[in-house]
Amino acid sequence: MADAARRKLTLRVVSSLILAAAVGAIVWYGPPAFDVYIIVAAAVLAHEWRRMCGEAGWSIPSLALLLAAVGTVAVAIFIRPHIALVACGAGAIAVYAAGVLCRSGQASWLAIGAVYISLPGLALIGIAHDPEWGRRTLVVSIVAVAATDIGAYFTGRTIGGPKLAPTISPKKTWAGLGGGIICGVLAAAGLGPVLGFPALLGAFLGALLAIISQLGDLFESAMKRRFGVKDSGDIIPGHGGLFDRLDGHIAASCAVAAAHLATGGSVLTWR
C-alpha cells in the first residue's frame, strides 16, 4: 500500500474510532444529550445539503432549510414525534416556497433536503425516547450499520470483482456487499445475549439493516453524483462530511422507526 493511501486509511480509522466512542457515549447516556446531538447533526446536515445544492452563503432558502430541519426535530423532542411529521411536511413546503420566491434554481432539491434531514431525526428521537428498548434498539442499529460499512469497505478492497452499481458508485462491489452483510449479521447477533434478545433475531435484523444501509449509501452516492461533488463536506477527517458518514444510518433509522410504528414496539421484541 502506498504511503499516501496508508496515511489516508489510518486517518479514516482513527476518525472512525473517535467518532464511534463519542456517539456511543451519547447514545448510551440517552436524552437530553442525545437530543442535543440530533439537533446539532440536523444543523450540520442542512449546511452540507445547501452547499451541495450550490446555494452560496446563507441565503433565505438556505436559512429556511436550516429552520425546517432543526425546528422539526425540536417539535419531536419537546412536543411529539407524530406532530413533528406534520411539521416536516410544512417545513418542506416553506423551504420550497422560499426557494421559488427567491428564484433559487434548486427550490425542489432544497425542499427534498428538508425531508431527507428531518425524517431520520424524527426516527432517532422516537426510538431514543422509548424508555424500555430505545437505547438497546439504537445500539443494535448503529453497530450493525457500522459493522456493515467496515465489512463492505475491507472486503470490497480485498476481493474486488464485479461492480455493484458502477454508474452510481464505481468502487462498490458485490463482494463488498456480501462481506458487509456478513459483518452486520455477526455484529447484531453477537449483541443479542448482551442486550437481552435472541441471537437469531439479531442475525435477521443485522441482515436487513445491512441491506437497507447499503441502499442508503447508494442513494447518497447518487445524490452526490447528481450535484457533482465527491464529498458532502469536510468536517470529518478521512471521511468527508456528516452525510458521508451517516448515509447508511439515515436509511436504517427510518426503517427501524417505521417498523416500530407498524408493530407498536421495538424490533428487538419481535418473536
Instruction: Give the tens place of pLDDT for each residue, 35-59.
Output: 999 999 999 999 999 988 888 778 8
Out of 128, 147, 174, pick the residue that ends a domain: 128
Question: What pLDDT sits at residue 172?
Answer: 87
Give the lowest-confidence range in 31-35, 156-160, 173-177: 156-160
In this structure, the answer to whether residues 198 and 208 fall within a common structural domain is yes
* Same domain for 39 and 24: no
Domain count, the chain: 2
Residues 188 and 161 grouped into a single domain: yes
pLDDT value at residue 58: 83
Q: Is residue 185 part of a domain?
A: yes
Q: 262: exposed, middle or buried (C-beta count within 10 Å: 0-12, 13-18, 19+)?
A: exposed
Whether 182 and 238 share a structural domain: yes
The residue segments making up the domain with residue 168 are 10-30+133-271
- Which of 139-143, 154-158, 262-266 is most confident? 139-143
Same domain, 91 and 159: no
Query: Picking from 55-69, 121-135, 158-172, which range would have the lowest pLDDT averaged per residue?
Result: 158-172
Chain segment 73-90, per-residue pLDDT in tens = 999 999 887 889 999 999
**109, 128, 147: which is the final residue of a domain?**
128
pTM of the model: 0.89
The model's pLDDT over 196-212, given as tens digits with 9 standing for 90+, comes to 999 999 999 999 999 99
